Amino acid sequence: MPRPTALTDPSQPLRGILLVVLATFLFASHDALSKYLAGFYPILWVVWARYLVHTLLMMAIFLPQSGLRVLRTRRPGLQTLRALCLLGTSLLFTTALQYIPLAEATAVNFLAPLLVTALSLPLLGERVTRGQWVAVLVSFVGVTVIIHPGGALFTPAVLLPFGSAMCFCFYQLLTRMLSATDSPTTSNFFTGLLNTLVMSAIVPMFWQTPSLLHGIMALALGTCGMTAHLFLTQAFRHAPPAMLAPFSYCQIVFAGILGLVLFGHSPDMAGLVGIALICLSGLGAAWLQRKP
C-alpha cells in the first residue's frame, strides 16, 4: 500500500484549520468588497466582475495543466443547476448587503448548512438525529431574534439573505451529489464559466465603466472568492470535514470586524444574541456529525 502524500493524508489538521480560517477571512473580505462596490455600480455588474475574474484565474491555473478536460462532466444538467444556485446566492446576498449590515446578513446566510441537514432526509435519504433537528430549530430562533418585530431589520429585505441561504443550501446538496462523479476542480470551473457567460449576456444592459480604483477592487473581489474556494479544497485534504466545520463560523466574526471598521456598524444586543444562537446551533450540528 503506497504511503499517503501530504495532499491526500488527513493527518495535518492544523494546516487544514489554518486554511479554513484564511478562507473565511477571504470570503468576508469578498462580501465587504461586494457591499462597497454595489454602492457605486449595479449589482449585476458587481456579480459579473466577480465571476469573470474567478474564471480567468481558474483558466490561468488549470488549463495549462489539464486543458479542456477540466470541463468534462458526467452530469451536465446537475452542474448547470448547481451553477445557477450559486448565481442566485450571489445575486440575492449582494442585494441583501445594500439593506442589511454585513455581520447580520452573513449570520442569516449561515442557515444554509443547517438547511442542508433538514433537507438531507427527504432529498438524500440521510439519517437526521433528534439533536440535529434541535440545532436547526435553534438556528431559526436565532434568525427570529436578529429580525425581531419592531427592530430595524424587520423589513421584507430580510428575505434576501434567507433566499440566499436557500440557494446555497441546494448548491451544497448538488455538490454532494456531484462529488461521486466529478472532481471539485471540474465543478468549480464549470460553475465559474457558466455564470460568467450568463452574466456577460446581461451586464451590457447595465454597463458602467469603473474607475481605476474600483477596477482594482473588482479584481480583488474575484481573487478573494477564487482563492477562498481553493483554500477550502486544500483544507479538506489535510483534515476531515467534521473537524473543520466549526471554524467556518470565523466568517461571521470577520464580517463583524469588517462591518465595524469599513462601514461603522456594530450589531445591537439582539443581533449579537441571534448571531450567537446561529453559531452555537451550527457548532452543535458539527459536533453531532463527529459522533459515531
* Ramachandran bin of 24, using left for φ above 0, alpha for ψ from -120 to 50, beta for the remaining angles: alpha
Check residue 291 and give its pLDDT.
Answer: 56
Report how far Cα 241 is from the mean position of its chain's Cα atoms: 15
Output the CA–CA distances (angstroms, integers) from residue 169 to 26, 62, 146, 183, in the order listed: 20, 27, 20, 20
pLDDT at residue 163, as a whole number: 94
Instruction: Identify the CA nearest to 22 among candidates 235, 259, 215, 273.
Output: 235
3-state class (DSSP) for residue 39:
coil
H or E segment at 34?
helix 13-37
Report yes or no: 19 and 241 within 8 Å, Cβ to Cβ.
Answer: no
3-state helix, strand, coil split of the chain in percent (to 5) is 80, 0, 20
**pLDDT averaged over the chain?**
86
Task: Give residue 4's pLDDT.
Answer: 37
Q: What is the pTM of this model?
A: 0.86
CB proximity list for 100: less than 8 A, separation 6 or greater: 108, 153, 157, 158, 160, 161
Question: How does 239-252 read in b/e, with b if 16+ C-beta sit within 10 Å?
Answer: beeebbbbbbbbbb
Phi, psi of 5, rounded to the nearest 5 degrees: -90, 175
Instruction: Check residue 11 and give its pLDDT.
Output: 54
**Cα dist from 23 to 53, 138, 235, whole Å:** 17, 26, 9
Question: Among 236, 267, 228, which Cα is nearest to 28's?
Answer: 228
The 10s digit of each residue's pLDDT in 94-143 is: 999 999 999 889 988 888 877 877 787 777 777 777 887 888 788 878 88
Task: Give the position of cell 441546494.
Answer: 170
| pLDDT at site 5 | 38
Parse the chain into domains and list their residue ranges: 13-290
Cell of 187: 465543478
As averages over each run of 10 residues, the pLDDT of the chain (292 residues) reads: 41 82 95 97 97 94 85 92 96 95 89 79 74 81 77 80 92 86 89 96 95 97 92 81 78 92 88 86 74 54
Is the distance from CB of 253 to CB of 27 less than 8 angstroms? no
pLDDT score for 194:
96
Strands (E), 7-162: none
Per the structure block, which three cell numbers stand in for 247? 471554524
Amino acid residing at 16 = G
Residues 6+ apart with CB under 8 A from 152: none
Q: Amino acid letter at 289? A: Q
The confidence score (pLDDT) of residue 227 equals: 93
